[in-house]
Amino acid sequence: MNKVTSGKGFKVLITTVCVLLVLALITAGNSTVGGIVTGYIINPLLRVTADFTNSAEEAVTPPKSTDELERENSELKEENRRLNDMLVEYYDLKKENDELYKFYNIKKNNEDFSVIPSTVISRDPNENFYGFILDKGSADGVKLNDPVMTDNGLVGYVSEVSHKSCKVTSIVSPAAQVGAVDKKTSDEGVVTGSPEYSDRGIAVMKNISAQNAMKSGDIVVTSGYGGMYPKNIKIGTISKLDYDDYTGMPIAVIKPFEDVRNITSAAIISNFSGKGDIEVLEQSGSDKENSKKTN
């Protein structure tokens, strides 16, 4: 239909009909009627016809060639690829920003800490003490024995380092030996793992005095002795006091503030004030006396 009304032949036909109608009226001797018909009917009709046909011509768009369509398709694909790249970059930046913000308080509360935010990328299914692999390594400044923590507290230390990743041994592993102190009573000991408790993500505190004043609910923190861990980092709370089945010595069962079984990200502390400084506990009076008798 558009092709018919937009053709030149259609315009000529309409014009011819109008002219013949005017001539017929004039020839009949009724010039007044001819003028009226011409002024009020024919001229408006011609204008409407011209407007209609011009609009029809403008509305008809010639079909695009195959080359044009292929070019547009290629441009759209390239734009889509670019947008996807931007989206991936956005997610990476957002993730990094979230990690930095999450561990902001660690740095804020410990200005001497050098903090390396990291993400758990894998776990060894044969690992019985919930060790895990982080996505930071020597290329990022990570070193052996660097302490690892979250905003909730200590979770372990770096036991293996590669260029782009590191393995963390958790505080519920018997390999962990963390100098610790009861924040309330100042009783000291060593937090480590025990097969009896580790499968529940629980640690124990050993080497404590038989005359300790520790109680359930007390908070245990790092002592800082040995220079491997910063001082005063939260570890957990005492859930109960017990005795070691093998030595008969008292132990404290510690529930860590952070569940090492479910960690998804952590902060590696690559440097801190006092790192590597060995502190030797002064012998108690009884120990000195026993030492004299031995010598």
Q: Report if residue 292 sits inside a domain.
A: no
Of the three residues 23, 41, 59, the one that is the final residue of a domain is 59
Q: What pLDDT was estimated at residue 107?
A: 84
Same domain, 138 and 209: yes
**Token code pair at residue 178:** 């963390």
Q: Report if residue 185 sits inside a domain.
A: yes
Q: Report if residue 112 sits inside a domain.
A: yes
Same domain, 112 and 235: yes
Same domain, 234 and 109: yes
**Token code pair at residue 228:** 């491997």
User: Identity (one letter) of the amino acid at 140?
Assistant: D
- Residue 174 maps to which CATH number? 2.40.10.340
Same domain, 31 and 127: no
Same domain, 133 and 267: yes
Same domain, 114 and 213: yes
How far apart CA 295 and CA 283 sit, in angstroms, is 15
Q: Report if residue 87 sits inside a domain.
A: no
How far apart CA 21 and CA 85 sit, in angstroms, is 70
Q: Report if residue 91 sits inside a domain.
A: no
Q: What pLDDT was estimated at residue 38?
A: 54
Q: What pLDDT was estimated at residue 193?
A: 95
Cβ-defined contacts of 40-45 (< 8 Å, 24+): 42/18, 45/14, 45/18
Separation in Å, CA 228 to CA 32, 159, 178, 221, 222: 115, 12, 8, 14, 10
Same domain, 54 and 121: no
Q: What pLDDT was estimated at residue 42?
A: 56
Same domain, 114 and 41: no
Q: What pLDDT was estimated at residue 295?
A: 35
How far apart CA 126 and CA 98 sit, in angstroms, is 31
Same domain, 198 and 54: no
How far apart CA 34 and CA 20 sit, in angstroms, is 11
Same domain, 174 and 249: yes
Mean pLDDT by 10 residues, the chain (295 residues): 54 61 55 53 58 57 76 83 82 71 81 92 88 96 96 96 97 96 96 92 95 96 93 96 89 96 94 75 40 38
Same domain, 114 and 197: yes
Q: Report if residue 258 sits inside a domain.
A: yes
Q: Report if residue 237 sits inside a domain.
A: yes
pTM above 0.85, yes or no: no
Same domain, 127 and 238: yes
Query: Domain containing 110: what range?
Result: 104-271
Q: Report if residue 79 sits inside a domain.
A: no
Asked if 117 contacts 267 with a C-beta cutoff of 8 angstroms, the reply is yes
User: Identity (one letter) of the amino acid at 232?
Assistant: N
Degrees, nearest 5: CA angle 73-76-78:
110
Q: How many domains does the chain have?
A: 2
